[in-house]
Amino acid sequence: MPTRRDVLAWGAAVAAAPALAACAESPGAARRTEQAERRPGQKVNLVFWSWVPLQKAVALWNRTHPDIHVEVQIIPASTSGGYQKMHASLKAGTPPDLAQVEFYALPEFMLVNGLTELTAYGADKLEGAYVDWQWRQGVFGDGVYAIPQASGPMGYYYRQDLFERWDVDVPRTWDEFRQAAIKIRKRGRGARICTFPPASAMWFAAFPWQRGAHWIQADLETDTWVVDIDGKESLEVADFWDGLVRDDLVALMPDLQGGWYRAVQTGDLVSWPSAQWGDALLRGNAPGTKGKWRVTQLPQWEPGATASSNYGGSSTAILQGTRHPVEALQFAHWLNTDPGSIDLLIGAGYGWPAARIELEQTALGKPDPFFGGQVYNRVFQESDRNVDTSWQWAPTTTQSFSHIQDAFGKAIAQREPLVDALRDAQGRVVDDLKAKGLKARGA
């Protein structure tokens, strides 16, 4: 059996997936998955950890599958301790059977032997039901380690009523976005076009992604992670937001928190470049704005382009140590492909489905009164087609996000350029990878 260092030295990029798959042979989780014997008529109980309110979909499963009962336990979101809780359960040998794990975090769980390899239970036969690129997020080497749940194609939410009142054109490019921000600043009596949230590195990452950057890639010849967080495209994006911050054209506050929701509700924030799953957040937290929102494509870095990006995305993972992998896989596949489940998950705001769907045959294809009757998900359907799916995540992404958030917070507090913050984060990310025993270098 190879040592952990031998395995990691072999290369750990998702593109060089055999290395991460081989980590399943290294120690990590306190116990390994085993299928328990099941007597005829015996009821199985599964525990599922998630921060998305999936209870209605799970209740449908429980009504229609009385022999396999699933209990949803709501845990903190990934950035609020959810993953720490999962890793602690793996070390203690007390993991749930299933857990929501975001795409970016899957390599981290692979490195600690935290995921069950599912081809032994027939997962490889399920691939055709899913969108290709989302399916590949859970594939490492020849193994399947997670069932894709949903992604977050990006779009541009905006208050049509206020844009019309202030004679602001809906921006088609980021240059036009800045011009719109200037008009809103002048005419909006304290309103801003949006916020720049320093503590949301994943949100920021979507814009270099759209610009054509690749923060992490694998040099397959040398089995080395190549880090390029401070590359040309990323610095251009940071400089763009730097200008908006410097000229007081965007608000500086955390997003998706109380103050942000209040500003959205009152019209102090009048647009939001964000993912498809943001619709439920607007609907649920700014009900007084019903009928006033519209959605269009993300502003472009080049006129006439159609490039998009992705913000978020999760899988339903079966953690190492479950005693019911067959039943857990059966549930995970049903959860993410059953039409009734998908409609309930859409209502819960879980994101853009990983299953292959016909838009008009789901709740996504219906006109929505909150968005003035717009069939707004057509925008996200097109966005999903225009995401650069070659973007990769490293097995230290959580640490990388922390470095970027810390650097952005410091830069804004000290009125320093965001481009310098990215340069600082670049070196720290390389160091993190090396600390894991991986080969890493800057681009």
pTM (2 decimals)? 0.90
CB 268 within 8 A of CB 191: yes
Q: Which of these, 330, 314, 316, 315, lies nearest to 35 by C-alpha position?
A: 330
Task: Give dist(CA 440, CA 13) in Å, integer.
Answer: 10
Do domains 4-151+312-382 and 153-309+391-442 share one topology? The answer is yes
Task: Give dist(CA 122, CA 120) in Å, integer.
Answer: 6
Looking at the chain, the number of H-run helices and the number of E-run strands are 17, 13
Spell out the per-residue pLDDT of the chain, length 443, in tens: 223 333 333 334 344 444 444 444 345 788 899 999 888 888 999 999 999 899 999 999 999 999 999 999 999 886 668 999 999 999 999 999 999 999 999 999 998 899 999 999 999 999 999 999 999 999 988 899 999 999 999 999 999 999 999 999 999 999 999 999 999 999 999 999 999 999 999 999 999 999 999 999 988 888 899 999 999 999 999 999 999 999 999 999 999 999 999 999 999 999 999 999 999 999 999 999 999 999 999 999 999 999 999 999 999 999 999 999 999 999 999 999 999 999 999 888 888 999 999 998 888 999 999 999 999 999 999 999 999 999 999 889 999 999 999 999 999 999 999 999 999 999 999 999 999 888 999 98
Third-level CATH fold of 4-151+312-382: D-Maltodextrin-Binding Protein; domain 2 (3.40.190)
- CATH architecture of the domain 153-309+391-442 equals 3-Layer(aba) Sandwich (3.40)
Boundaries of every domain in the chain: 4-151+312-382, 153-309+391-442
Run of H or E residues at 90: helix 82-92
